[in-house]
């Protein structure tokens, strides 16, 4: 038997696969469907203080290489998720609450109430690329540190950070130092690659409405960026801070690559939206076949074992 369970910050996950925040996880029905699915956890949509409709449609577009989105944080507001969390925990898998905010002052307010509802873990989203007029917090080390230090005392369950993609080792290092000072229990990377542009050649238009067509890229085309970030932070922390690898997973081989780079678990966004909840069973079967073929019995056995030349 191959063991696909994993542990993150002391919390056991029956399977290493879960939804990425944002993918099929806004409403109670969607979250319950994740509970009944093959996913190893239930991850909520990033939440704000007030409920939000999000940006105007069309705001998601799938294409052969992946997806582009500018959802604009549609969510039910943190009070609704705080009420839902005790119920969601009955599915027997960890619940991860994703906390965001429209301004930095929102994060501790949301975190305190959500923490009281006792999700198994809390993920602080410093990397939403789609709020018109607001830059991603994760690209500003000082603001990131202030937000994390203000939110940390409000959270007693394991606290993680959802990071944007970084593109230079200097930025990995600066952010690594910030994270090292803030008492972070786990990391999740990457959020979508922000502010890409996809063109509809036929119609000579952009494909999503908000922000003149600019949006976060996900799916197959972002895998090398995701793997590089997983690897960089795995090495920076010498494997001591568990990492959830997100970005570009379409097949079991992509999962295996994330694990080799250092991921303890993986999340799927675009492929979950495109394929539906059955994707978890497919990826589980594909990863199992790969591990068996290579003679590994668990993901722990190969995590971080990527060889350099
Ligand atoms: O537009 C969104 O809602 C969104 C968010 I909060 C995020 O963190 N990442 C993303 O690609 N979209």
Residue 96: how many other CB atoms lie within 10 Å: 28
Ligand 1 atom with the smallest distance to the CA of 215 is: 11
**Separation between Cα atoms, residue 239 and residue 241, nearest integer Å:** 6
Burial of 255 (0-12, 13-18, 19+ CB in 10 A): buried
The superfamily CATH assigns to domain 6-54+71-193+219-294 is: Aldolase class I (3.20.20.70)
CB 270 less than 6 A from any atom of ligand 1 = no
**Separation between Cα atoms, residue 6 and residue 33, nearest integer Å:** 21
Tell me, yes or no, if 128 is annotated catalytic: yes
Q: Ligand 1 pocket test: pick from 56, 66, 165, 192 the residue with the most ligand atoms within 8 Å of its Cβ.
A: 192
Beta-carbon contacts of residue 171 (< 8 Å; ≥ 6 apart) = none
Per-residue model confidence (pLDDT) at position 269: 98
CB 70 less than 6 A from any atom of ligand 1 = yes
Domain segments of the chain as ranges = 6-54+71-193+219-294
> pLDDT tens across 99-130, in order?
999 999 999 999 999 999 999 999 999 999 99
> pLDDT tens across 137-189, in order?
999 999 999 999 999 999 999 999 999 999 999 999 999 999 999 999 999 99
Ligand 1 atom with the smallest distance to the CA of 54 is: 3
Write the DSSP string, 65-93: TEEEE-----B--HHHHHHHHHHHGGGSS
Q: Residue 194 has which token pair?
A: 């922000």
> pLDDT tens across 200-247, in order?
999 999 999 999 999 999 999 999 999 999 999 999 999 999 999 999
Of 128, 182, 261, 302, the active-site residue reads 128
Closest CA to 263 of 243, 249, 247: 243
**Separation between Cα atoms, residue 207 and residue 58, nearest integer Å:** 7
Q: Ligand 1 pocket test: pick from 189, 191, 210, 244 the residue with the most ligand atoms within 8 Å of its Cβ.
A: 191
């Amino acid at each position: 038997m191959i063991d696909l369970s994993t542990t993150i910050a002391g919390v056991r996950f029956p399977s290493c696969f879960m939804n990425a925040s944002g993918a099929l996880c806004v409403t109670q029905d969607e979250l319950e469907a994740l509970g009944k699915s093959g996913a190893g956890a239930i991850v909520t949509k990033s939440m704000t203080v007030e409920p939000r409709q999000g940006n105007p449609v069309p705001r998601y577009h799938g294409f052969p290489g992946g997806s582009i989105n500018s959802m604009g944080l549609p969510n039910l507001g943190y009070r609704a998720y705080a009420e839902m969390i005790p119920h969601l925990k009955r599915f027997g898998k960890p619940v991860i609450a994703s906390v965001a905010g429209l301004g930095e002052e929102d994060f501790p307010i949301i975190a305190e109430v959500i923490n009281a509802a006792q999700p198994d873990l809390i993920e602080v989203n410093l990397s939403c690329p789609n709020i018109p007029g607001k830059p991603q917090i994760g690209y500003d080390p000082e603001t990131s540190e202030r937000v994390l230090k203000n939110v940390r005392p409000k959270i007693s369950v394991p606290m993680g950070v959802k990071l944007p993609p970084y593109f230079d080792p200097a930025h990995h290092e600066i952010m690594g130092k910030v994270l090292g000072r803030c008492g972070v229990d786990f990391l999740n990377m990457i959020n979508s690659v922000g502010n890409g542009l996809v063109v509809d050649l036929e119609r000579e238009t952009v494909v999503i409405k908000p922000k003149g067509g600019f949006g976060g890229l996900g799916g197959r085309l972002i895998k090398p960026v995701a793997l590089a970030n997983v690897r960089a932070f795995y090495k920076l922390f010498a494997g001591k801070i568990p990492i959830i690898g997100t970005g570009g997973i379409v097949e079991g081989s992509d999962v295996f690559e994330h694990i080799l780079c250092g991921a303890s678990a993986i999340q799927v966004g675009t492929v979950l939206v495109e394929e539906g909840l059955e994707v978890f069973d497919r990826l589980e079967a594909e990863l199992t076949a790969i591990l068996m073929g290579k003679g590994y019995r668990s993901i722990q056995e190969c995590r971080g074992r990527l060889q350099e030349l």
